[in-house]
């Protein structure tokens, strides 16, 4: 698996190990040999994972990584939209070049099944809702552009070389271990300090939020149902919530009576902001038994509990005891 030390990847590693899989986990090479979010997994899980440090951008390395695998879950990517404004070439290298390396590796290594990770950001703002897989693609950030390119490379390798790949397209995923830069941990971080007001960027964008356990179950369903191979499938709940409503839900769950203010410095450029993302999951629920299980109140409650237990993972200064 690539991206195994990331937010979604670490939960997927856990789920796969608990299902009895032998997991080879790629973690981005770093001098400290840190293992990212895998450090938060249970010791009985971690002891069964084969950890490999390296880089998706190195084709020979990726081939050795994939050799001998039955299935490859490709989640490794640069994902922060704001960072993609300032470092687009890094996104091109990792998200497009890294995916090309994975595709060449699966071709060279006897065609293991590839589960490739897209994102709802490839659609841009909804032109209609719910958004099915036929919705037009529109890159509203360099991040989205690189994910579109990666998805299209996968499509081309399916058609040109018979690569056995399924592309899953998660809508926004949240839960324990999510990066503190994302909106839910940012709100929780501020609310833990019990301020009079919390500061957000835009409060009007609407999102379809999936709890990470449900997203992970979607990856496993994609790898377990032969009928989805060759296709592209949305993973979302079909429910929608605005960022403002989301903040009110978090504050209610945490019992914090703070005002919500929109801070201009946190806004994305106007034409880059994705106003509305709401999925149709009809194709995936028809093809697999997958159904999202965790509603937003329950998911938020479990996320809040996690960050209350791990306040050091929140942005510095956001949490004042
Ligand atoms: N979080 C969401 O809401 C969401 C929604 C839709 C799609 N996705 C997709 O899901 C996947 C996982 O996202 P996440 O939220 O867990 O992000 P994350 O940033 O937590 O995980 C991505 C991982 O990729 C690794 N990585 C980056 N560059 C690398 C390189 N050159 N070599 C090796 N590893 C490298 C990072 O170290 C990180 O651990 C991504 O492909 C993302 O585009 C995420």
Residue spans per domain, the chain: 7-175+211-235, 183-205+240-277+294-313
For ligand 1, atom 20: residue with the closest CA: 6
Select the more confidently predicted residue: 65 or 265: 65
Degrees (nearest 5) of the Cα angle 8, 9, 12?
A: 90
Residues 87-111: tens digit of each pLDDT: 999 999 999 999 999 999 999 999 9
Measured from the Cα of 78, ligand 1's closest atom is 27
Measured from the Cα of 174, ligand 1's closest atom is 3
Hey, is 109 helix, strand or coil? coil
Distance in Å, CA 3 to ligand 1 centroid:
5
Q: Per-residue confidence at 210, pLDDT binned at 50, 70, 90?
A: very high
- Residues 133 and 170 sit within 8 Å (Cβ to Cβ): no
DSSP 121-181: GGG-S-SSSSB-TTSPP--SSHHHHHHHHHHHHHHHHHHHH---EEEEEE--EE-TT--TT
How far does CA 305 lie from the centroid of its chain?
20
Model-level pTM greater than 0.85? yes
Distance in Å, CA 30 to ligand 1 centroid:
16
The architecture (CATH level 2) of 7-175+211-235 comes to: 3-Layer(aba) Sandwich (3.40)
Q: Is the peptide bond before 164 cis (omega within 30 degrees of 0)?
A: no
How far does CA 165 lie from the centroid of its chain?
18
From 171, 176, 173, 169, select the one nearest 222 (Cα to Cα): 169
Distance in Å, CA 75 to ligand 1 centroid:
5
For ligand 1, atom 5: residue with the closest CA: 172
The architecture (CATH level 2) of 183-205+240-277+294-313 comes to: Alpha-Beta Complex (3.90)
């Amino acid at each position: 698996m690539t991206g195994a030390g990331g937010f979604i990847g670490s939960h997927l590693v856990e789920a796969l190990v608990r299902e009895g899989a032998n997991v080879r986990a790629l973690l981005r090479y770093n001098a400290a040999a840190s293992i990212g979010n895998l450090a938060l997994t249970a010791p009985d899980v971690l002891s069964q994972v084969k950890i490999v440090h390296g880089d998706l951008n190195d084709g020979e390395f990726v081939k050795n990584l994939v050799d001998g695998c039955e299935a490859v879950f490709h989640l490794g990517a640069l994902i922060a939209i704001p960072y993609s404004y300032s470092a687009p070439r890094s996104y091109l290298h990792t998200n497009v070049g890294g995916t090309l390396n994975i595709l060449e590796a699966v071709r060279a290594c006897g065609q293991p099944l590839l589960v490739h990770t897209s994102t709802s950001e490839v659609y841009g703002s909804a032109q209609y809702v719910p958004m099915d897989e036929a919705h037009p693609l529109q890159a509203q950030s360099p991040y989205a552009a690189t994910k579109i390119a990666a998805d299209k490379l996968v499509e081309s390798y399916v058609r040109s070389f018979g690569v056995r790949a399924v592309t899953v397209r998660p809508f926004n995923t949240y839960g324990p271990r999510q990066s503190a830069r994302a909106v839910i941990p940012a709100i929780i971080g501020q609310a833990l300090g019990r301020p009079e007001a919390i500061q957000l960027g835009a409060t009007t964008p609407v999102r379809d939020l999936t709890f990470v356990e449900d997203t992970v179950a979607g990856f496993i369903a994609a790898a377990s149902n032969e009928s989805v191979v060759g296709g592209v499938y949305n993973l979302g709940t079909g429910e929608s919530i605005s960022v403002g409503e989301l903040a009110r839900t978090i504050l209610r769950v945490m019992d914090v009576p703070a005002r919500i203010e929109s801070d201009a410095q946190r806004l994305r450029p106007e034409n880059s902001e994705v106003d509305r993302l709401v999925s149709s999951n009809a194709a995936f629920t028809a093809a697999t038994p997958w159904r999202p299980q965790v509603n937003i109140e329950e998911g938020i409650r479990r996320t809040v509990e996690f960050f209350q237990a791990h306040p050091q993972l929140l942005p510095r200064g956001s949490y004042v005891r």
